[in-house]
Structure 1
Amino acid sequence: MPSTLYQKLVASHTVSRLDAQHVLLYADLHIMNEYTSPQAFTALRAQQRRVLRPRQQLAVVSHIIPTHPVNNAQRTIMDPASSLQARNLKRNCDEFGIRLFDTTDADQGIEHIVAPEHGLIRPGMVVMCGDSHTTTYGALGALGFGVGTSEVEHILATQTLVYRLAGDMRIRIDGALPLGTSVKDLILLIIGSIGAQGARGYAVEFCGTTIATLSAEARMTMCNMAVEAGARAALIQPDRITFDYVAARAQDLRGAAWEQAMTSWRELYSDPDAQFDVEHVFDAAEVEPYVTWGTSPDQAMPVTGLLPDPAASGNAHSHDAIARALDYMGLRAVAPIERTPVDRVFIGSCTNGRIEDLRLAAAIVRGRSVAPAVRAMVVPGSGSVRRQAEQEGLAQVFLDAGFEWRQPGCSMCLAMNDDVLEPGERCASTTNRNFEGRQGRAGRTHLMSPAMAAAAAITGYIADVRKLGVHHA
């Protein structure tokens, strides 16, 4: 029977079929962070169980760590509860023999950036993590998905998970992205089109000529954000771009081991006659610089557009949702979103904290200055990204313009550390979620691309980056 890429990955990792909708699925790699793992280790101890395969576990301190620009050795978590979480993670990893990127590790960062850059994510793998943005790894042809806190214990003890099968969705995008746009604009357009629940219950495979030309890092942004449309997984067929990315980082795959891996990886594609439950098609030429206006990632629009009118929504539910979002965001119906003033700008996160993202932002910033009323910060996604940005001179570009150049971490993506918005502050953010209070109580978040966030920092308002032009090195 012809199979989709998703079906092949599930079949190759199925230990046993439990019923029509569930399988016992094997995990090649399980990733943990400081806030979704403590209960699991406590339960293991209570039942006197060990971690079955410690070498197939990875732990990263990422969400709670402050990003103040101090030396690695001086990085300290001052909040007592957060500090306890980090100490417990280290204790658990030490006891059970698990690799940990700890607070002061030179390569510490966001789990979904650290794992791929260390060559730990490879085509054909199944990767589980107690974080919804594990879908990121589909960019490298791996089946990655988030798990619940209670499921972490099962994975640690058995290296497997009782897994409910997903449906198959294919999203095809063809054509070249217009000048001044990026994959962040593309994925916001897609989410806005199909809705925040448009891919609920599905594994989404992205394909088309647009996807084929994207870098591995750009593909990670696409797959990372797919969960914001409700996707249970996101996948892109591995190709030469994928293989080159992995080859540069997977130091243990050389010679015969590499050739053996490639033989397997070349079979990772959806068969020509494979059936998808749902298909969508988009034209890359229609992409414009996008920005969210509301409190859900699907409440997004081109920067050139007008804010929606609740009265024109067509039904009571959407009327109330639009009205509530506009009220929370302090915006007026049918007004332009462009030139809305911002107080803060955040460039970073597992969505847009990679070196390519920083290059895009620096190209806009170079030779310019942050607007006087704006506090702008750049938070690299890992220690490795930070060092590379400094070597390339990007860090100095940001510093010269008036940005804060921070240490790596999740930072202002979510209010779990001390990088938070004050009530009423408006932020241009390269993150993945804009829910009420996501970046701080009563904070207002507008999602956008790194280039668009850089433009907002320079102008002091939500701006069409195409009007600024690009300053090349």
Structure 2
Amino acid sequence: ARAQVDRLRENAARCGVELFDLDSPARGIVHVIGPELGLTQPGMTIVCGDSHTSTHGAFGALAFGIGTSEVGHVLATQCLLQRKAKTLAITVAGELASGVSAKDLILHIIGQIGVNGGTGYVIEFRGATIRALPMEGRMTVCNMAIEAGARAGMIAPDQVTFDYLAGCPRAPKGAAFEAALARWKLLPSDPGAKFDRELQIDAGQVRPAVTWGTHPGTAMVIDGLVPEPQDAAQQRGIDYMRFSAGAGVLGEPVDVVFVGSCTNGRISDLREVARLLAGRKLHPRVRMLVVPGSAAVKRQAQAEGIDQIVRNAGGEWREPGCSMCIAMNGDLVLPGQLALSTSNRNF
């Protein structure tokens, strides 16, 4: 790891590429710091060597993950050969109930269309429910478009987007912002635009969700029952999780709780954690890791006293990064342990 970091520093310095190093006050997960700095903007094409690059689509950018060889090609040429994707419009109408989050919404959508339902498509999330989401909620939705098999997920920019970017340090300022705003307002899909496929979702049907298996398509309402397996893969998932078909999971003893990742490691997520933990103590068997998605999120959370609430409850307050999402720094769920995680994958 040290050799990789050293080589990264050398290459960045040699090529004049800005590096948010380990001592940078702006460091963090790329899908968190790009938006919060204002580097992510509507109309951009953004690629990165990580599948959850789709997060940036929340700003009306075309953003998708690419492989290592493609990263090298982009760095060398600024070009990337692609096939035109099909388009899928997912319109969400209605109002989300109290206690229902953007994460519940995207898990519901994936549960409806499956982990292959978006394969070959770029998804545009639209409708009144999507418009009512703050930017951090929109990022959560687009982040997990890839878990439905999509190439990318997008939300058309609107006033919520513009207001968010107006406060970002790297966004355009003054006259440059006004000029950018004029361009950004031209980006939404035309009224009556045709899509290859369209899907309607009723927000009133969305409830707090968990997954019972080993892929995000196994989402169910938190007080639901594990379904009867329809194939060998589902049976393997149930067996792996040590659940039983026809039984609920609410009340199952939990060993590990992880709050963080590029899906749910932003300040709004940590505020919700603090709200739930305030004045409470974790069960002695539970290890809880709370990991800010960036140094800026960590500073803001600490200014609000969230770190102390986590520690007082018996949780661990960690440095910004990916942590348990990719088993970084030895942050592991051990064999036989049951974890609750805010990350985007359960496999």
2:295 aligned residue? 383
CA separation in 1, counterparts of 2:209 and 2:279?
24
| Deviation string, structure 1 residues 49-103 (Cα, Å, up to 9, x no partner) | xxxxxxxxxxxxxxxxxxxxxxxxxxxxxxxxx2222222112111111111122
1:161 aligned residue? 80
CA separation in 1, counterparts of 2:340 and 2:188?
37
| Deviation string, structure 1 residues 348-376 (Cα, Å, up to 9, x no partner) | 00000000111112111111111111000
Q: Return the TM-score normalized by structure 1.
A: 0.72
Q: CA deviation at 1:250?
A: 4.3
| Deviation string, structure 1 residues 394-413 (Cα, Å, up to 9, x no partner) | 11111111110000000000
The AA in structure 2 aligned to 1:200 is: T
1:344 aligned residue? 256
The AA in structure 2 aligned to 1:399 is: R
RMSD of equivalent CA atoms: 1.1
Assess, with a 3 A threshold, how the Cα gap between structure 1 residues 116 and 254 changes in structure 2: closer, same or farther: same
CA separation in 2, counterparts of 1:386 and 1:177?
28
Contact 2:257 2:340 in 1 (8 A): yes
Query: Does the residue aligned with 1:298 lie in a helix, a strand or coil?
Result: helix
1:304 aligned residue? 223
Confirm or deny that 1:142 pairs with 2:40: no
Q: How does 1:315-326 map to 2 (within 5 A)?
A: 319-326=231-238
Confirm or deny that 1:209 pairs with 2:209: no
1:327 aligned residue? 239
1:239 aligned residue? 158
Query: Does the residue aligned with 2:58 lie in a helix, a strand or coil?
Result: helix
The AA in structure 1 aligned to 2:269 is: D
Confirm or deny that 1:220 pairs with 2:139: yes
Q: How does 1:36-435 map to 2 (within 5 A)?
A: 82-251=1-170, 253-310=172-229, 313=230, 319-435=231-347
| Deviation string, structure 1 residues 138-185 (Cα, Å, up to 9, x no partner) | 111111100111111110111111112110000011111111110101
CA separation in 2, counterparts of 1:99 and 1:365?
38
Contact 1:168 1:203 in 2 (8 A): yes
Q: CA deviation at 1:105?
A: 2.2
Sequence identity, in percent? 53
Contact 1:308 1:322 in 2 (8 A): no
Query: Does the residue aligned with 1:276 lie in a helix, a strand or coil?
Result: coil
Q: CA deviation at 1:274?
A: 1.2
CA separation in 2, counterparts of 1:387 and 1:96?
31
Gapped regions of structure 1 (runs ≥ 5): 1-81, 314-318, 436-473
Gapped regions of structure 2 (runs ≥ 5): none
CA separation in 2, counterparts of 1:382 and 1:254?
23
Number of equivalences: 347
Query: Does the residue aligned with 2:7 lie in a helix, a strand or coil?
Result: helix
Q: CA deviation at 1:418?
A: 1.3
Q: Return the TM-score normalized by structure 2.
A: 0.98
| Deviation string, structure 1 residues 95-134 (Cα, Å, up to 9, x no partner) | 1111111223232211100111111001111111010000
Contact 2:89 2:125 in 1 (8 A): yes
Query: Does the residue aligned with 1:377 lie in a helix, a strand or coil?
Result: strand
